[in-house]
């Protein structure tokens, strides 16, 4: 365990040299904050990972284009209330205008500005509101603005998600902060930018000096232990984006993979990202239960993941969890159709410390005891397929009446 500490009320501007704001631009009918601006006082190394959805939104396409150039970034402008996805050539032109407007307002180059959008798909950005909002967001920038920014990027989230940690790197205090949003349409399958292959948005900042390759490696290493292991409803959004910025304000010698403190920094980075991912599931639309599902004994890790995702996204399983119904047959059923290789005679299932299935059959524990094991806000389920050494852990949740209500009439 790396020697880092969580900073109370930390957020994306806790690291030195970052400013942020969250303002009302008029994009949401509710009148809630709907635009955030995150700025580094100096050029920052940037890294990213983005959705694999074939209908990737215009901001995703633009950000990938900018980050492929491996040039410093100064700002990220985020709007909620409109996804700017499935909007054609005009949508792409508007994403560029959004970046250009922010660049002009901040006095930097357009290629130094990344943009993100979240909200309804298929709706064009109201550019007059974007332009006015950008100017208002710049005027509201402050070193304590990270909390406002985290609130402004929300859609159906019930609360902002932000934190920060500190650690010592090369004798200097280094801070890592972050914010994310996402409550529904959550099953990110993010692909690291270097591999080029409504919505989750996440931003991590650090005042550490790092090489571009090292920052991207940290981001890549964090994915399968964070955003790529969560699912609320099985839907991968058109706009999923995860962006990291490092501005070097801490004054340490630049970190790379050979640096003595590289492992400690990477662990702290992964902690921040993992916590943000977990909070997204806990705040999922209508969520009443957080479930850590551990699938082991698979032929390989890929099959373990396939099995875990089938269970975690099963409507029958998720509704059973909502009702604290210990109907383990639904779990085994989902595992059975997942395509993963299973030795049914060696399969075991546990709800926390309560044995549920042994040898593919009822372990004999009374149903009332089984129900008590999952009638909790958070619990763990462990399934061993008895077919190998592969494993995968997924963070998921139940499916409640409230989820249906929210998504039956979703207009941000």
Q: CATH 3.10.20.340 occupies which residues in the chain?
A: 290-408
| 77-116 pLDDT per residue, tens | 999 999 999 999 999 999 999 999 999 999 999 999 999 9
* Confidence check: pLDDT of 183 > 60: no
β-partners of residue 23 are: 35
CATH class of residue range 290-408: alpha beta
Nearest to 160, CA basis, from 17, 26, 6, 22: 22
Place of tokens 């208002």: 136
Give the pLDDT confidence score for residue 21 in this predicted structure: 98
Q: Give the strand pairing for 35-50 and 73-80.
A: antiparallel
Note the pLDDT tens digit of each residue in 377-389. 999 999 999 999 9
Q: Alpha-carbon distance 79 to 90, whole Å?
A: 17
Residue 196: the pLDDT is 31
| Rounded Cα gap, residues 183 and 325, in angstroms | 24
Q: Residue 268 in 3-state DSSP?
A: helix
- CA 169 to chain centroid: 26
User: What is the per-residue pLDDT for 412?
Assistant: 44
SS3 label, residue 392: strand
Least confident of 224-228, 347-351, 370-374: 224-228
Residue 233 has pLDDT above 70, yes or no: no
Could you give the CA distance from residue 376 to residue 288 in angstroms, rounded to a whole number? 9
Q: How far is CA 2 from CA 115, 262, 265, 266, in A?
A: 33, 10, 8, 9
Active site residues: 199
Burial 98-120 (b: 16+ CB within 10 A, else e): bbbbbbebbebebbbbbbbbbbe
For the cut 80, the answer to whether the pLDDT of residue 236 exceeds it is: no
> Contact 199/237 with Cβ under 8 angstroms?
yes
Cβ-based neighbours of 196, under 8 Å, separated by 6 or more: 64, 68
Q: What is the largest CA-CA distance in the chain?
A: 69
Task: Indicate the pairing of strand 113-118 with strand 18-23.
Answer: unpaired
CB-based contact 314:364 (threshold 8 Å): no
**Is the overall model pTM greater than 0.85, yes or no?**
yes
pLDDT reported for residue 410: 55
CB 132 within 8 A of CB 34: no
The fold of the 5-282 domain, in CATH, is 3.60.70
Spatial distance between the Cα atoms of 10 and 33, rounded to a whole number of angstroms:
20
Whole-number Å distance between alpha carbons of 332 and 385: 10
- Specify the 3-state DSSP secondary structure of 325: coil
pLDDT at 52: 86
Long-range contact pairs involving 354-362 (C-beta distance under 8 Å, separation at least 24): 356/326, 356/328, 357/328, 357/332, 360/332, 362/328
- First-residue to last-residue Cα distance in the chain: 41
Portions of the chain given CATH number 3.60.70.12: 5-282
**The tokens 């032109």 sit on which residue?**
93
* Integer-rounded Cα radius of gyration of the chain: 22
Give the torsion sign (CA, 182, 229, 178, 78).
negative
Cα distance between residue 147 and residue 179, in whole Å: 9
Alpha-helical regions (H) of 40-113: 58-67, 88-106
């Amino acid at each position: 365990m790396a020697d880092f500490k969580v900073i109370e009320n930390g957020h994306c501007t806790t690291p030195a040299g970052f400013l942020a704001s969250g303002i009302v631009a008029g994009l949401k009918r509710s009148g809630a904050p709907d635009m955030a601006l995150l700025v580094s006082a100096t050029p920052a190394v940037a890294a990213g990972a983005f959705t694999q959805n074939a209908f990737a939104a215009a901001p995703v396409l633009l950000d990938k284009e900018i980050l492929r150039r491996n040039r410093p970034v100064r700002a990220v402008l985020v709007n909620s209330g409109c996804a700017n996805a499935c909007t054609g050539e005009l949508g792409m032109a508007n994403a560029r205008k959004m970046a250009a407007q922010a660049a002009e307002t901040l006095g930097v180059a357009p290629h130094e500005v990344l943009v993100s959008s979240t909200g309804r798909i298929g709706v064009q950005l109201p550019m007059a509101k974007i332009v006015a909002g950008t100017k208002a967001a710049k005027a509201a920038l402050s070193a304590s603005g990270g909390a406002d920014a985290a609130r402004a990027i929300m859609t159906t989230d019930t609360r902002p998600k932000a934190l920060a940690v500190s650690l010592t790197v090369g004798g200097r205090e280094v801070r890592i902060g972050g914010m994310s949003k996402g409550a529904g349409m959550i099953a990110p399958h993010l692909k690291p930018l270097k591999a080029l292959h409504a919505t989750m948005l996440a931003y991590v900042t650090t005042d550490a000096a790092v090489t571009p390759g090292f920052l991207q490696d940290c981001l890549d290493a964090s994915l399968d232990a964070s955003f790529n292991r969560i699912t609320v409803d099985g839907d991968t959004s058109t706009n999923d984006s995860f962006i990291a910025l490092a501005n070097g304000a801490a004054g340490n010698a630049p970190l790379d993979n050979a640096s003595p403190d590289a492992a400690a920094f990477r662990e702290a980075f992964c902690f921040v990202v993992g916590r943000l991912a977990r909070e997204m599931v806990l705040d999922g639309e209508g969520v009443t239960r957080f479930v850590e599902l551990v699938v082991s004994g698979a032929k390989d890790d890929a099959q373990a993941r396939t099995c875990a995702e089938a269970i975690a996204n099963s409507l029958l399983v998720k509704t059973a969890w909502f009702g604290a119904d210990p109907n383990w047959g639904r779990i085994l059923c989902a595992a059975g159709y997942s395509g993963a290789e299973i030795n049914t005679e060696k399969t075991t299932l546990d709800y926390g410390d309560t044995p549920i299935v042994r040898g593919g059959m009822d372990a004999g524990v009374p149903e009332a005891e089984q129900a008590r094991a999952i009638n909790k806000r958070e619990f763990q389920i462990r399934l061993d397929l008895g077919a190998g050494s592969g494993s995968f852990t997924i963070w998921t949740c139940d499916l409640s009446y409230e989820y249906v209500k929210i998504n039956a009439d979703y207009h941000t």
